[in-house]
Structure 1
Amino acid sequence: MISDLDVPLGKRIELARRRRGLSRAVLAGLVGRSAEWIRQVERDERAVDRLSILLRLAEVLKISDVAGFLGSAMPQAPRRSAPQVQVNELRELLYQPKLTREPAPADDDDGQLDHLRRDLAETWTGWQDSPNRYTITLRRLPALLRAIDEIADAGECADQLIAGTYRLVSAVLRRIGDQPLALLAIERAVEAARRTGDPLAEITCAGGFATTLLSLGFPDRARQLALSLLDELQTRVPAESATEISVYGAMQLTAAEATAADDDQVAAERLLDQARQTAARLADDRNDYRTGFGPTDVEIHAVRIALTFGRSRHALRIAETVDTGRIHARERRARHYITVAQAHSRESNTFGAIFSLLKAEEACPEEIRFSAEARDVVQDLLARDNALVRTDLWALAERSGLA
């Protein structure tokens, strides 16, 4: 029995597997995973975050001291947490009850709605395409929330703005790691979108709800919701205009990502292929309803999904075909380069990982600072201490607040 908690869990699994005389392929079949998945776990490149899988591994490997084997208290290398962001003002605004107000005069209403519509569009653009997107957006959101509270009873046009604002609030909170507050915001967005009578707005907000469920650790529920939204789109929207096609394709990608997180590779690949067919109907990548979709977006998701299943080499092969110049927003370029850095890191390609992180920093410096994936790659590279790139790596870590 392997009980030394100084030995990483992946190594303990490998030693127990060898002791039982099992190949990776056989063990994978017994626990319902792939041989590549087992390889990634044994190399501690992939965490086993489901208790049911951990217990199944212990059962198959005939471990009597399960608690000792799993080593829930084993020491971990210290990791830099995400930068602390004060969202107290947002939290207070979200927690305030929404009271019925007297309707404002029509003339005042129109002017206020136009002004708010411009502010919301500028804030969304800053969130998607500013190098300082966290700083700028967090600074502007409290005023937006107060403004939409003032026009809450102004009708359908106001509901469109309310839905868009709360959806943006949820997206920001989700990225900085406050998932419960993000869930509260996206619920408000869905509620307002339903009142607009616009099925695309409603389903887009509901897609944000699915993404929030995924970030909360409920891939099965996120998958079910995304697939039901696809069915609803087919029923309610003809998917004839470019906007309709774009929103439908974006929902296919959301479903594919949730399905991959739910460990169903065949279904995830099928959804990706369907999204490729949808993207082929568009002339270029689009950003309708602030949901990016097009041929480039499909391949970006293909890279991420390949990495989800531990197929880092395949992810890098797909990444070689992605024209990053066609990625419509800084944050998407940065997140794509971070994914590529993860793949290079798993392949022990330090140079490729650092180059990709530097490209991500060039696109959006704040994404390096706030991304948990980027922080993990930087920490892993620092631990390897390659003298040839030590100076560049430590400089990046210091600029990003990671060292």
Structure 2
Amino acid sequence: MIDALGKTLREIRKARGKSLAVIAGLAGISSSYLSRLESGERALDRRSLIVALAHALEVAPSGITGSALPIPREPDDNRALTEIRLTLLAVSIDEPRGAVQPIEHLQARVQSVLGAQNDAANDVVGAALPSLIRDLHTTANAHRHEPDVLRLLTLAHMQGTEAWLATIGAPMDLSWQAAMLARQAAERLAEPVSLAVGAYGTALGLLSAGEFDLASQTLDTVEFPLISVEDMQLAGSLALASSLVSAARKDQAERFAALEYAAELAERTGETNMLGFGFGPSNVAVWRMQGALEVGEHAEAAAIAETVNPAALTVRARQAVYWRERGRALARLPKKNDNAVMMLRRAECISPEHVHRHPFTRSTVAELVTKAKRDAVGRELRGLAYRAGMHV
């Protein structure tokens, strides 16, 4: 089975008329490793590696990842995605065409959407977002309850729109539009907390696009006093984002420094979920796992996973991420493929989208399928791959 990312990688290389040896050398890997990436025998599951290959092939990182993800979606997701695309287009020309709403009503709707996003109820989020976005922007344009509405816009676009689009595997340009709308609302408000929320979303968007230095720069500009538990939670979340950006930049010293700072704050806050970030000691550990995977330390990620109680994670979607990342880690360890499949199935049971539409996980599944036996676990794996729309 050839992974979609590997297939696209091979197609671009051949279209460029470049040999395995040339592209591998430019990307800093061996020819045999590149060959295994192209054939699906090895997962293309690190941002830094994708960026290195993109530079070697003289394409944008999205040239490898964007065209390699013909991800099937449920009809409801397709309808919601179309509606959100049209909504973002309308907002971009300042014609949201919603209704001016009382602030209490808007606050309740935003909290409902963020709660559904946290619970991995992606169908609920997709159905609710278009009208919510239109009404928020219409109310802001009418200068009604303006500071409160701008706070809601920042949060709704970052934790709602941007997060939902990333979860369902939407095109990167839409996620970026959402991140920019969050940032624009925060800049209009000019309050430290909203600016920090906007910076968080912007940095994650830049990270996804392979702009690691800009992502780091964006996070470095954020400053606000640590007065409340909410402040500490947000500062810790920014530090966690910084740790993943640092991992992608291969800056281990900064990665560990950011993680230690986040861990220190998490000890003070405990397990929380203000603003939908789900910050706390357990989530810090999940981010440690993600950073370890980014730098290729699969054994480290698997060892960290052993220390985490996923039930302590206050955001159900992060529980799905925990099981998914644990599965990705085990998939690269000797004689752990069966365990990896079971971990991925646990993630799928919580939130199918977090497995089916996550490019690194799809690449891992493709690698596992190439080694799967014709036994019960192999059937489980092929079923997962089939549900993700992969050819098995």
Band the TM-score falls in, shorter-chain normalisation: 0.7 to 0.9
Residue equivalent to 2:258: 271
- Of 160, 165, 177, 2:170 maps to 177
Residue equivalent to 2:148: 157
Residue equivalent to 2:88: 94
| CA-to-aligned-CA distance 1:318-346 (integer Å, 9 cap, x gap) | 11001111011221111121111111111
- Rounded to whole Å, the distance in 2 between the matches of 1:201 and 1:325 is 29
Residue 89 of structure 1 and its aligned partner are, at CA, apart by 2.2
Residue 313 of structure 1 and its aligned partner are, at CA, apart by 0.8
- Rounded to whole Å, the distance in 2 between the matches of 1:46 and 1:366 is 19
- Of 109, 113, 123, 2:103 maps to 113
- Rounded to whole Å, the distance in 2 between the matches of 1:187 and 1:213 is 11
Q: Is 2:355 the counterpart of 1:368?
A: yes
- Rounded to whole Å, the distance in 1 between the matches of 2:43 and 2:379 is 28
2:71 maps to amino acid: A
Higher relative contact order (CA 8 A, sep 6+): 2
* Residues 180 and 395 of structure 1, relative CA distance in 2, 3 Å threshold: closer
- Rounded to whole Å, the distance in 2 between the matches of 1:335 and 1:118 is 27
Residue 299 of structure 1 and its aligned partner are, at CA, apart by 0.8
Normalised to the residue count of structure 1, the TM-score between the two structures is 0.76
1:98 maps to amino acid: D
* Residues 203 and 291 of structure 1, relative CA distance in 2, 3 Å threshold: same
- Of 386, 390, 394, 2:378 maps to 390
- Of 135, 144, 147, 1:147 maps to 135
Partner SS, residue 164 of structure 1: helix
Asked if the contact 1:223/1:262 (under 8 Å) is kept, the reply is no
Residue equivalent to 1:122: 112
Highest Rg: 1 or 2? 1
Asked if the contact 2:273/2:315 (under 8 Å) is kept, the reply is no
Residue equivalent to 2:50: 49
* Residues 147 and 54 of structure 1, relative CA distance in 2, 3 Å threshold: closer
Asked if the contact 1:79/1:376 (under 8 Å) is kept, the reply is no
- State the percentage of identical aligned residues: 24
Residue equivalent to 1:137: 125
Residue equivalent to 1:63: none
Asked if the contact 1:40/1:46 (under 8 Å) is kept, the reply is no
- Rounded to whole Å, the distance in 1 between the matches of 2:273 and 2:105 is 22
Residue equivalent to 1:23: none
Residue 42 of structure 1 and its aligned partner are, at CA, apart by 8.5
Partner SS, residue 328 of structure 1: coil
* Structure 1 unaligned residues grouped into runs of 5+: 18-27, 56-65, 68-77
Residue 149 of structure 1 and its aligned partner are, at CA, apart by 3.0
Residue 12 of structure 1 and its aligned partner are, at CA, apart by 6.1
Q: Is 2:196 the counterpart of 1:200?
A: no
Partner SS, residue 210 of structure 2: coil
- Rounded to whole Å, the distance in 2 between the matches of 1:42 and 1:223 is 32
2:379 maps to amino acid: T
Residue 195 of structure 1 and its aligned partner are, at CA, apart by 3.5
- Rounded to whole Å, the distance in 2 between the matches of 1:162 and 1:127 is 16
- Rounded to whole Å, the distance in 2 between the matches of 1:361 and 1:52 is 29
Asked if the contact 2:272/2:279 (under 8 Å) is kept, the reply is yes
* Residues 248 and 146 of structure 1, relative CA distance in 2, 3 Å threshold: same
Q: How does 1:297-308 map to 2 (within 5 A)?
A: 297-308=283-294
Q: Is 2:81 the counterpart of 1:82?
A: no
Residue equivalent to 1:357: 344
Partner SS, residue 135 of structure 1: helix
Q: How does 1:236-315 map to 2 (within 5 A)?
A: 237=225, 239-282=226-269, 284-315=270-301
Normalised to the residue count of structure 2, the TM-score between the two structures is 0.78
Partner SS, residue 151 of structure 1: helix
Aligned residues between the structures: 345
